[in-house]
Amino acid sequence: MNRHPVIWSLMIVGVVFFFIIGGLTIFLFLSGSHSKGLLDFGEIEVIKIEGPIFDSLHTIKELHRLQKSNSIKAVVLRIDSPGGAVAPSQEIYEEVKKLKAVKKVVVSMGTMAASGGYYIACAADKILAQPGTITGSIGVIMESFGFQNWLEKSQLENRVLKSGMLKDVGSPFRSMTPEEQAYLQSVIDNMYGQFTEAVSQSRNISPEKIKILSDGRVFTGEQAYETGLVDGLGTIYDAINEAKKLAGLAADAGVIWPHEEKGVLDFLFPTSSVKSKIENFLGNFKGFQLLYMISY
């Protein structure tokens, strides 16, 4: 039994309409000037590292992808971060070093690239900052709360069973002993040594000079340039042009910009500084941590 001609016509129109709308949507998505897609053509890619660094997985996956890319010849890392946890900062630093072995890597510093953010930047071929960028803050910090006085006033008792003397070191429910302070300071000193050694080797700065620069102080981009912590001053477009020169690319070589992804905090708090402070606050509840991070 043949279908009614009207039904056939509606079905054909529906299929054609579906393909037109679908094709148009894909075209607009892939041709967006700030998106990455299958039709992107470029030899330089910009990767963003933003906000407090408490997880490195997304960034190292991006860096590993770029290591394997045959089309990308240079990478610009846009860093706008106060730093973060030690291990994620180190993991990203190591992946940037691996990327630098096969591509040219230039860092463009935004508002802030301090502590762990600066640690990561050191792995690049060149670092550019703005004169007013906040950077440096080379050091390690550990912060904790103490509720022991509140417990005493509330007549509450904290009972702990532990397998070793230092198992609950840093507990907020009691005062820290001198032995515990000395132990934690030794851990901090070890991580601090890892940081200063990475900066000294990557930036070709003598250990003696690094010791002077790494007392936790921050520098403006202008001061960092004068001390050798960065290579120059300039915008992200200056960093892109520098990457082109290092990679021997033409001045009009294509650039692939990162796709702008929005999360819940972006919609609730469109101001980046507010979002950063909230992420920082939430990050502090991930447990007892040692941080390559500026304190603010």
Token pair recorded at residue 242: 């520098």
CA atoms within 13 A on the CB side of 19: 5
Q: Is the pLDDT of residue 28 over 50?
A: no
pLDDT of residue 144: 77
82-112: pLDDT as tens digits? 999 999 999 999 999 999 999 999 999 999 9
Torsion sign (Cα): 130, 114, 44, 125: positive
Residue carrying structure tokens 């490195």: 56
Give residue 81's pLDDT.
96
Give residue-wise pLDDT tens across range 33-64. Answer: 334 444 456 899 999 999 999 999 999 999 99
Q: In whole angstroms, give the CA distance from residue 134 to residue 27.
A: 40
Query: Which domains does the chain show, CATH number per domain?
Result: 43-142+205-293 (3.90.226.10)
pLDDT score for 143: 81
pLDDT at 160: 80
Give the model's pLDDT for residue 38: 43
Distance CA 61, CA 107 (A): 18
Residue type at 238? D
What is the C-alpha to C-alpha distance for residues 92 and 87, in angstroms, rounded to an integer?
9
What's the pLDDT score for residue 273?
54
d(C-alpha 214, C-alpha 201), whole Å:
14
Q: What is the pLDDT of residue 279?
A: 53
% of the chain exceeding 90 in pLDDT:
60
**Whether residue 30 has pLDDT greater than 60:** no
Asked whether the whole model's pTM tops 0.85, one would answer no
Please give the pLDDT value at position 102.
Answer: 97
The token duo for 217 is 């102080």
Phi, psi of 219 (to 5 degrees): -125, 150
* Residues labelled as active-site residues: 115, 167
Six-digit token pair at 213? 């620069």
CA distances from 100 to 55, 109, 128 (A): 21, 18, 16
Q: Higher model confidence: residue 269 or residue 160?
A: 160
The angle that helices 57-68 and 86-100 make with each other, rounded to 10 degrees, is: 10
Q: Which amino acid is at 135?
A: T
**CA neighbor of 83 nearest in space, from 288, 286, 279:** 279
What six digits make up the tokens of 211?
């010791």
Residues 6+ apart with CB under 8 A from 62: 47
